[in-house]
Amino acid sequence: MRYLPKSPADRAAMLKAIGIHSVGDLFSPIPAEYRLTRDLAVPRQMAESEIVDWFKQRAKENGEGYTSFLGAGAYFHYRPVVIDALVQRGEFLTSYTPYQAEFAQGTLQAIFEFQTMISELTGMDLANASMYDGSTGAAEAVMMACRITGRHSAVIARNLHPEYREVINTYATHQAIPLKTVSFTDWGSIDLKELEKAVGDDTACVLIQSPNFFGTIEDVEAIAEIAHKRGALSNRRAPPTSLPWKRSRSECRSDSAVPTAACSPRKKNSSAKCRDALRVRPWTRTANAASC
């Protein structure tokens, strides 16, 4: 919106119209002792180079060289420097809300590349995009399993991220999908004996996370075996960064995958909206991936 300043004559006409003589009269209801009659005591403005130096100094105050035990997916990640150059290419820089087809090429290209990457990482045959984030992707995986199997309940690992479980519970409540939660062992992995008891003839799927909330690698093959024995599907959530050094979903007999990834910050005119990809193997095997 264009800013059009008022001339002194414009201001005088406006003040006369409301019956006062100056802008200061507008503040007359405020007692004089509470009015600030001097400039604010704030530091002078800083140049961009000075701001960068200031933040560098603040960053040096942080502890460095230590291993992070925050868990819950808060791990150090390597981000190749080439990403900054790639996201500025025209194919991706135009990733904006596709109101017009000619402006949507960046969006289409980004989704295509994302789905291809998820397909290669998960080893499954189909990838869907886009969903909002990993938690909604996991909830959709549960509902999809119910539609595929014709069953109406699900078993969720308690060591799945609690925020994911909250979102899944919200979806399941309004879809009338009963949820069973399976606890974990002293080592942080899902209790397989308890899982075997929890999976029944009406169980549509078993949803786990590996690495889970504690960072433990689950025995995905054993979990899939328990689920398949009762005719249920096996759904697994994992960050894509963990997939290159682990066996693919198809090799682990998982029916769906729900990876969640964080993309590099985009430049101006690009979309920052989160995306999900749903990875599907023939007829039953499916995977949901989310990327922010």
* Burial state string for 135-173 with b = 16 or more CB within 10 A and e = fewer than 16: bbbbbbbbbbbbebbebebbbbbebbbeebbebbeebbe
Hey, what CATH topology would domain 82-291 get? Aspartate Aminotransferase; domain 2 (3.40.640)
Give the separation between CA 200 and CA 8, rounded to whole angstroms.
80
Give the separation between CA 130 and CA 280, rounded to whole angstroms.
14
What is the reported pLDDT for 15? 92
What is the reported pLDDT for 262? 43
Residues of the chain with pLDDT under 50: 262-292
Give the separation between CA 261 and CA 167, rounded to whole angstroms.
18
Whole-model pTM?
0.62
What is the reported pLDDT for 98? 55
In order of 5, 48, 116, 207, 262, the CA distances from 161 in angstroms are 53, 39, 26, 11, 16
244: alpha, beta or left? (left if phi > 0; alpha if psi -120 to 50):
alpha
What is the reported pLDDT for 246? 60
With beta carbons less than 8 A apart as the criterion, state whether 208 and 142 touch: no
Domain ranges of the chain: 82-291
